[in-house]
Every structure is written in structure tokens, then in C-alpha cells.
């Protein structure tokens, strides 16, 4: 019989380190008393939430092994407060750092999916700048959408869409992942430019494993190769999945993800 574990209800953290206070939802599974391996932190994607298939499976996996696991929703996502259209990369980075610093102890493995991959790398830079590199044991990045607001959005937009964003402050982008369009705001694009990483050396000060589908329509697999080139100072493994899509949520994809986490520590 398959072992089952109770679902953890959401708790809330009031963060006030970046402008107005934010009420952030999270679920934290504590480590078993005797467990000494690093905890795991899930950083989700753009307009995703902590109840995604991959996050749920990591939670089950962590429970079976007595590992600590933290997952949360950024401002304007899932069960957290705030409006999605008011969010920016800088704000969601601040959410992530608040969660890591206030709710975890010791080294952590960051598991970043899509936008969460970009935010994981930004979090590593912020932790290094505050002499906290020991807080990261490793990273597993799933289709990391580094600099996506600029290279994967703005650079691909027509002059008409760019003009609409600049003139009105927002463009409603149709999504294959949700019935309603996603607001792409001028604030998101402009703040994204303050957080660009490509074009300079990127340091995480920990091992990194990237999982990338070669049939990904949102983050081209060559984008992952570019990221690897920028991570010259850290140990990096790249797994290209020939028939993999953007989400990498099939059973075989999730098995690769869990193996990558376990292989770090």
C-alpha cells in the first residue's frame, strides 16, 4: 500500500521588507528530528502556485525521507495576498528571500521552476552579497527562464504590443496554461531590466543541475545552454530531455527531478 502523508494547511508570513506589508502563504514540512540533510525550498513559476504537480510530489518525497520542505506563493499568486499585476521580479525576489531567511535554517536546496529559476539565481546573488553563501547547498532549475521579461518577452513582441505596454502600462497576453489572459505590465518589464543576469558571470557558490525540455515552446533549450556558459565558476550539470515540454510534469520528468534533488545532498 502506498504511504500517505497528511496535507499541510497554509500558514502566513507578513513581510514588510519591500514597501507595503505583504501577506504571503506558505506550507512548511519540518524535518524529522534526526535528519541532518539540507532542506528544500520550492520557487514556482510565473503565475503558478505552490499546489502545482511538481511541488506536491516533492512534498510527498520529502515527507517519506524526513526532509524539510518549504513552498510558498509569491505576492499576487495562489493563496498569498496582493494583486498579480502589481508584482515584479524584484518584489517576488524579496518574497523569496523573506521566506528563506525567516522560515528555514541551515543549508537549503533551491528548486526553481521557470521564473523560479531566475529568482533562485537572483537569491543566490543576494545571499552572497550579504555573506550568506553557506545557506545554499545546491540548486535544481527546471526550464530556468532567466531574464525572460527581456529576452523571451520584450525581444519577441511586435512594435504594436510594445507601444501598448509603454502607453497604457499593460498588455493582456493570452496563455495556454490558463483560460484568462495574463497581464504583462510596464513595471514588470522595467523592473526585470534591473535584474538581468545574462551578459555577466553568474555565481551560485553551489552545485547546479538544470533540467530542460527540448520541446519547450516557452523557454528554448538553447537558452539553458546560454545559462550554463554564464555559470563558469560553479559545478553545473545539464539534462536535456528530447521530448520534454515546458512543465516537465510527466511521471518520468518528476522522477528525474527527484533524482536530481537527492543527488545534490
Spatial contact of 113 and 139, defined as CB atoms under 8 Å apart: no
Residue 242: exposure state from Cβ atoms within 10 A (0-12, 13-18, ≥19): exposed
Catalytic residue among 73, 147, 191, 216: 216
CB atoms within 10 A of CB 1: 3
CB atoms within 10 A of CB 165: 20
218 is catalytic: no
Q: Report helix, strand or coil for 133.
A: helix
Catalytic residue among 48, 113, 114, 120: 114
What is the grid cell recorded at 76?
499576487
**Nearest 5°: phi and psi at 9?**
-70, 160
Spatial contact of 233 and 201, defined as CB atoms under 8 Å apart: yes
User: What residue spans of 44-86 are helical by DSSP H?
Assistant: 53-65
96 is catalytic: no
16 is catalytic: no
Catalytic residue among 77, 223, 230, 246: 246
What is the grid cell recorded at 2?
502506498
Report d(CA 265, CA 258) in Å as an integer: 12
Spatial contact of 89 and 191, defined as CB atoms under 8 Å apart: yes
Catalytic residues: 114, 216, 246
Amino acid at each position: 500500500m502506498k504511504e500517505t502523508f497528511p496535507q499541510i494547511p497554509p500558514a502566513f508570513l507578513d513581510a514588510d521588507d519591500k514597501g507595503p506589508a505583504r501577506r504571503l502563504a506558505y506550507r512548511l514540512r519540518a524535518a524529522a528530528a534526526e535528519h541532518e540533510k539540507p532542506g528544500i525550498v520550492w520557487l514556482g513559476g510565473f503565475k503558478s502556485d505552490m499546489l502545482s504537480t511538481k511541488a506536491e510530489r516533492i512534498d510527498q518525497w520529502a515527507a517519506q525521507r524526513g526532509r524539510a520542505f518549504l513552498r510558498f506563493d509569491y505576492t499576487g499568486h495562489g493563496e498569498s495576498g496582493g494583486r498579480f499585476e502589481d508584482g515584479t521580479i524584484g518584489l517576488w525576489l524579496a518574497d523569496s528571500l523573506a521566506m528563506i531567511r525567516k522560515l528555514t535554517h541551515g543549508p537549503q536546496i533551491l528548486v526553481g521552476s521557470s521564473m523560479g529559476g531566475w529568482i533562485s539565481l537572483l537569491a543566490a546573488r543576494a545571499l552572497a552579497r550579504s555573506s550568506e553563501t553557506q545557506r545554499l547547498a545546491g540548486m535544481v532549475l527546471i526550464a530556468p527562464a532567466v531574464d525572460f521579461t527581456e529576452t523571451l518577452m520584450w525581444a519577441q513582441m511586435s512594435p504594436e504590443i510594445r507601444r501598448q505596454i509603454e502607453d497604457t502600462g499593460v498588455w493582456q497576453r493570452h496563455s495556454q496554461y490558463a483560460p484568462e489572459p495574463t497581464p504583462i505590465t510596464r513595471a514588470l518589464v522595467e523592473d526585470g531590466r534591473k535584474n538581468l543576469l545574462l551578459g555577466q558571470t553568474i555565481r551560485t557558490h553551489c552545485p547546479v543541475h538544470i533540467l530542460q525540455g527540448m520541446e519547450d515552446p516557452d523557454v528554448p533549450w538553447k537558452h539553458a545552454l546560454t545559462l550554463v556558459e554564464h555559470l563558469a565558476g560553479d559545478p553545473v550539470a545539464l539534462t536535456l530531455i528530447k521530448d520534454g515540454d515546458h512543465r516537465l510534469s510527466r511521471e518520468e520528468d518528476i522522477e528525474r527531478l527527484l533524482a536530481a534533488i537527492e543527488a545534490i545532498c
